Amino acid sequence: MDTNETLRAHISALVDGELPQADAELALAALHETDGKVAWDRYHLIRDTLRATPAPALSPGFAEQLAARLAAEPGALAPDAGDSADSHNGSANGTTESTGQAAILANPGTS
Amino acid sequence: MTTERESDQLLVERVQAGDQKAFDLLVSKYQRRLMRLVSRLVHDPAEAEDVVQETFIKAYRALRHFRGDSAFYTWLYRIGINTAKNYLVTQGRRAPTSTETDAEGAEGFDDADSLRDINTPESMLASKQIAHTVNAAMEALPLELRTAIVLREIEGLSYEEISEVMACPIGTVRSRIFRAREVIADKLRPLLEFPVDKRR
């Protein structure tokens, strides 16, 4: 990463309010340069554009269809439905470290 | 007063106690957000809807293992993203790789020439064309970059939350979001920088 790229990376984090304090002065100085100002403008343009783009709506029958499928899930929440998964805790590493059904469900790509 | 995370956790605990109606409330709350996220990964709306439905079923089945160490929605989003990835694999599709995206230069953008033909700077900067360019660039992003920027820009997640959803370090999140922005900004450049006097 060259210097300009590093500064733009700082600006990107600044746009998100995620820039470490130690890098703030450099990033703010970079915003006074053309490259930094252009990056700032474009990152916000991208954000505003993405947020303005509507998402497709769910079809009218979605809720009923899902409700019917959920109703057909017998004993899914019973204390022991036949697997020994016990370590899925929603943590960042839980998906890959868990064993059993929960890990398979949370990370179907590995199933 | 309870936070959103705490109120979700209350509903989760109700579901874990056997109250399926409480899960319906979570579905009602998150179905549109999940659709918004998944439709950025699986473009066909009907297919995206199938993935959303599958995500909720998987979440329901796995919910008894959820202990609330992270927010319910970050856990749900992770299941949604993995379900979408798995769906794309089973459909024989794949997201563009970093190499492919990186290989495209700014001049490789197919729409660049046609955009240059537009007569006025005002129309060249029209929001429709910018939206088209941004969304086309988004679709061409590698899945990891696309997922990261969608979670940040559209879902408004913090870097820490994204790192939980994507199971990667915060530094990787920061880098993925930056790289995604750089690729998209590069695609915007012909629209925003091409000098008026060189367009004819």
Domain boundaries, chain B: 4-90, 98-198
pLDDT digit string, tens, across residues B2-14:
788 889 999 999 9
Q: How far does B53 lie from chain A, in Å, by closest CA?
A: 6
Asked if residue A83 lies in contact with residue B73, where contact means CB atoms within 8 angstroms, the answer is no
The model's confidence at residue A103, banded by pLDDT at 50, 70 and 90, is very low
In angstroms, the Cα distances linking A8 to B160, B174, B189 are: 20, 12, 16
Residue B73: band (very low, low, confident or very high) from pLDDT cuts 50, 70, 90:
very high
Select the more confidently predicted residue: B172 or B199.
B172
Contacts of B144 (CB under 8 A, 6+ apart): B166, B176
Nearest to B82 among A8, A16, A109 (CB): A109
Looking at residue B93, its pLDDT comes to 63
Closest residue to A106, CB basis, from B53, B68, B78: B78
Domain that holds residue A42: 3-52
Domain count, chain A: 1
The answer to whether A53 touches B150, Cβ cutoff 8 Å, is: no
Stretch B185-197: mean pLDDT: 78
- Model ipTM? 0.72
Residue with tokens 């022991």: A80
Chain B residues whose CB is inside 8 A of the A79 CB are 64
Residues of chain B by 3-state class (helix, strand, coil), percent to 5: 75, 0, 25
Task: For A65, name the nearest residue in chain B, comparing CA atoms only.
Answer: B53
The answer as to whether A60 is a domain residue is no
- Pairwise CA distance, residues B167 & B87, whole Å: 19
Count the neighbouring beta carbons within 10 Å of the beta carbon of residue B166.
21
- Whether residue B56 has pLDDT greater than 80: yes
In the structure, what pLDDT confidence band is assigned to residue B102 with cuts at 50, 70 and 90?
A: very low
Does residue A77 belong to any structural domain of this protein? no
Closest CA to B50 of A69, A51, A76, A50: A69
Dig out the tokens for A85 from the structure. 């998964």
User: So what's the pLDDT on residue A77?
Assistant: 59
Pull the structure tokens for residue B137: 């660039």
Give buried/exposed letters for A62-78 (b at 16+ CB in 10 A, else e).
beeebeeebeeeeebbe
Which three-class secondary structure string do you get for B79-117? Answer: HHHHHHHHHHHHCCCCCCCHHHHHHCCHHHCCCHHHHHC
Residues of chain A neighbouring B82 (CB-CB closer than 8 A): 95, 106-109
Higher pLDDT, B98 or B57: B57
E strands, B38-190, in order: none
Nearest CA in chain B to A82: B61
B4-90 is classed CATH 1.10.1740.10: yes
Nearest to A88 by CA among B164, B67, B41: B67
pLDDT of residue A3: 86
Q: Does B10 touch chain A (CB under 8 A)?
A: no
Binary contact (B74, A90; C-beta < 8 A): yes
pLDDT at A1 over 50: yes
User: Lowest mean pLDDT: which of A69-83, B54-68, B128-142?
Assistant: A69-83
**Hey, which of A78-92, B49-63, B85-99, B180-194 has the most confident mean pLDDT?**
B49-63
Which residues touch B67 (CB under 8 Å, ≥6 apart)? A88, A89, A90
What's the CATH number of domain B98-198, 2.30.180.10, 1.10.645.10, 3.30.450.270, 1.10.10.10?
Answer: 1.10.10.10
Whole-angstrom distance, CA of residue A19 vs CA of residue A79 = 44
Q: Which two tokens stand for residue B38?
A: 């998944």
Q: Name which of B100, B54, B30 is nearest A70 in CA terms.
A: B54
Tell me what pLDDT residue B171 has. 97
